[in-house]
Amino acid sequence: MKGRTAIMFITLATLSALLLLVDIGAGTVKLSIGEVADALTGRCDNPAISKIVIDIRLTKGIVAMIAGIALSVSGLQMQTLFRNPLAGPYVLGVSSGASLAVALFILGAPLAGGVTGTAASIGMTGAALVGSGIVLALIALAGRRIKDIMVVLILGMMISSGISAIVQILQYMSNDEALKSFVIWTMGSLGNVTGEQLPVFAGTISAGLVLAVATIKPLNLLLLGEEYAVTMGYDRRRSRTMVLVSTALLAGGVTAFCGPIGFIGLALPHVARMIFKTADHRILIPGAALTGTAVMLGCDIVSKLFVVPINAVTALAGIPIVVWVVFRNRQIAV
Amino acid sequence: MIELRNVSTGYGSRELVKNADALFAPSTLTALTGRNGSGKSTLLRAIAGLGKITSGDIVVDGKTRFSSAAERARSIAFVNTQRVRIANMRCRDLVGLGRAPYTDWAGRLSDHDNNIVEGALATVGMSEYSSRSLDTMSDGECQRVMIARALAQDTPNILLDEPTSFLDLPNRYQLMELLGKLAHEQGKTILLSTHELDIALACADNIALIDTPELKLLPASEQSTRQTVAECFGIGRL
């Protein structure tokens, strides 16, 4: 690894650590970085502050980091697989599959006698996981039979649009209360993951990341296009399936636990390419993960300061990033 | 060594080449030529494992089947006309990808691999461009780097689909000379498709002419070959 790359990694890691402390400090009860550090190291005398920091805010901060890592890495995979700079984690309908399942759950729950509190949150998470899993399984199966990767992309986008239309019909037919809870789900939230759920969330994302790391070499070959990749030893079926399963776990996992969080997965791979000035996935995967961590923490801080939904912040932060990258490079590079 | 045994190719119901037998031997540069739509690319892609033939066998180094894409990639390298302009990727890294069939799961290059990469760049005369980024290079330069990548793949057989099409006249001859040298000095079997009859006749050892639906393998140096090619293309003489 070159010196510059190492310096960028260290800088991003330090920045992420600092942002985590600031993120934990931000909220209705404002805490200084010193107080946060004391609470984290167990030197805090005030049990209330200690509880806020460790039980609630640290969990949320970790969720933000995991979500940032997962979305950036899966966005990178999709951009390389489809050789398309505008691809992102949701391009194949992960989020629309999840939203259909969540919509069905929210609208169906009152019929089943009403589900509230923890049961509702677990139900929504489960529904989203199942929904995104089914959509990606369908696309992965199709991808084993279809040769041209562009056909797979178009198929994914059409499935995604079709599902969105069905979700619209459901929304139109639902009552005010159900509609509101659905709309709030689509705005995303990093605060719904409890301490008990965190290991499940972290486990899902870790499994996706292991698969992502295992596809580093095929992803590098894909930079030349699938045809060249095949003549250089790329196993089309195996690698495609691995990438799609990885994205199902990463993007599906985030959507299930935090709702559909937009733009991070689209914008951050470009930022990573620009920071590290490379196309090599051995550097880009950890690079995108770290960049994602820092930006997601930043977005969470902003969302707390102005008390606005996380999805609005990621979009407002992500759009200028994409525009900036386009203008800087004149051509977006994948 | 590439051998075609009773090979037929086609597009849907349209048959292009019928029952072709041919042997492309080591240390020879063969130019595959024929009219537009005669199936040059279809045949070349089938040999590269990117398409299917309708019947017959393609035998590469004694094998009709490969157990994996990686095994095939150690036998045949392929270069096409697709423009490869990857931003932030240096020539050296692109050529390094050619080592993929030999490297570990992460594609790390050993010293040995790096030497092969430098050697391949030197062979095509692109050593000075080693650290240049691909998106800052001309079509001709990119073409050379793609050929260096095929060389780094270290295969006994190299297939090239229309390698001369983006190049100007001096570059075309230079490229053909380079390919001839590779075939003769390194004992490689090189098969390339081209429309450019004069260059093919001047530089290749053999001409594989698709005179639909026949495939004729002719020595480029013989006068009668010029006549056969000219007749196939419906022109008086070459």
pLDDT (tens digit per residue) in A220-275: 999 999 999 999 999 999 999 999 999 989 999 999 899 989 899 999 999 999 89
- Give per-residue burial for A122-151: e unless 16+ CB within 10 Å, then b: ebbbebbbbbbbbbbebbbeebeeeeebee
Q: Which residues are registered as beta bridge partners of B15?
A: B10
Residue with tokens 């017959």: B56
Give B51→chain A minimum CA distance, Å: 10
- Which residues of chain B lie closer than 8 angstroms to A217, CB-CB? 100, 103, 105-107
Chain Cα centroid distance, residue A181: 21
- Which residues of chain A lie closer than 8 angstroms to B135, CB-CB? 331, 333
Report the residue of chain A nearest B159, measured CA to CA.
A231
Q: Is 90 exceeded by the pLDDT of residue A297?
A: yes
Residues of chain B with pLDDT under 50: none
CA angle B108, B111, B113 (to 5 degrees): 65
Task: State which CATH number among 3.30.465.10, 3.30.390.10, 3.40.50.300, 3.10.20.30 fits the domain covering B1-75+155-238.
Answer: 3.40.50.300
Q: Is A193 helix (H, G, I), strand (E, B) or coil?
A: coil
Q: What is the pLDDT of residue A116?
A: 64
Q: What is the pLDDT of residue A108?
A: 76
Asked if B106 lies within 8 A of A333 by C-beta distance, the reply is no
Verify cis geometry, omega within 30 degrees of 0, for the bond prior to A286.
Answer: no
- Which residues of chain A lie closer than 8 angstroms to B145, CB-CB? none
> Tens digit of pLDDT for each residue in A23-44?
999 988 888 888 888 888 888 8
Q: What is the pLDDT of residue A117?
A: 66
Of B50, B89, B97, the CB nearest to A221: B97
Contact B141, B126 (CB under 8 A): yes
Superfamily of domain A3-329: ABC transporter involved in vitamin B12 uptake, BtuC (1.10.3470.10)
Q: What is the pLDDT of residue A334?
A: 53
Give A142→chain B minimum CA distance, Å: 19
Asked if B101 lies within 8 A of A221 by C-beta distance, the reply is no
Contact A68, A263 (CB under 8 A): no
pLDDT tier for residue A111 given thresholds of 50, 70 and 90: low
- Which residues of chain B lie closer than 8 angstroms to A333, CB-CB? 86-88, 135
Interface test with A, best of B80, B84, B89 (most A CBs within 10 A): B89
- Which residues of chain A lie closer than 8 angstroms to B86, CB-CB? 223-224, 279, 333-334
Asked if A280 lies within 8 A of B97 by C-beta distance, the reply is no
Of B76, B82, B87, the CB nearest to A225: B82
* Structure tokens that stand for B52 in this block: 């299917």
Q: How does DSSP classify residue B133?
A: B
* Structure tokens that stand for A323 in this block: 């525009």
- Which residues of chain A lie closer than 8 angstroms to B72, CB-CB? 231, 233
- Which residues of chain A lie closer than 8 angstroms to B69, CB-CB? 230, 233-236
Separation of alpha carbons A85 and A325, rounded Å: 11
Please report the number of interchain residue pairs, chain A to chain B, with beta-carbon separation below 8 angstroms: 84
Q: How does DSSP classify residue A224?
A: T
Q: Is 60 exceeded by the pLDDT of residue A324?
A: yes
Of A216, A223, A277, the CB nearest to B86: A223
With a CB cutoff of 8 Å and minimum separation 6, the contacts of A193 are A59, A60, A63, A201, A257, A258
Could you tell me the residue ranges of all domains in chain A?
Answer: 3-329
Show which residues on chain A lie within 8 Å of chain B, measured between beta carbons: 214, 216-217, 220-221, 223-225, 227-228, 230-236, 273, 277-280, 282, 329, 331, 333-334
> Tens digit of pLDDT for each residue in A148-161?
888 989 998 899 99
Could you tell me the residue ranges of all domains in chain B?
Answer: 1-75+155-238, 82-154
Asked if B72 lies within 8 A of A273 by C-beta distance, the reply is no
Separation of alpha carbons B179 and B203, rounded Å: 9
The runs of H, that is alpha helices, within chain A are: 3-25, 33-40, 47-51, 58-81, 94-108, 117-145, 149-173, 176-186, 198-214, 216-222, 226-231, 236-258, 264-276, 281-305, 310-329
Asked if B100 lies within 8 A of A221 by C-beta distance, the reply is yes
Q: What is the pLDDT of residue B13?
A: 81
Compute the average pLDDT of residues A50-77: 94
Q: Is 70 exceeded by the pLDDT of residue A114?
A: no
Report the residue of chain A nearest B69, measured CA to CA.
A233
Chain Cα centroid distance, residue A288: 12
Asked if B73 lies within 8 A of A217 by C-beta distance, the reply is no
Separation of alpha carbons A18 and A49, rounded Å: 19
- Using a 10 angstrom Cβ sphere, with 0-12 exposed, 13-18 middle and 19 or more buried, the burial of residue A257 is buried
* Structure tokens that stand for A294 in this block: 């820092």
Straight-line distance from the first to the last Cα atom of chain A, in angstroms, rounded to the nearest whole number:
21
pLDDT tier for residue A62 given thresholds of 50, 70 and 90: very high
- Which residues of chain A lie closer than 8 angstroms to B76, CB-CB? 231
Residue with tokens 């041209």: A148
Q: What is the pLDDT of residue A147?
A: 84
- Which residues of chain A lie closer than 8 angstroms to B84, CB-CB? 224-225, 228
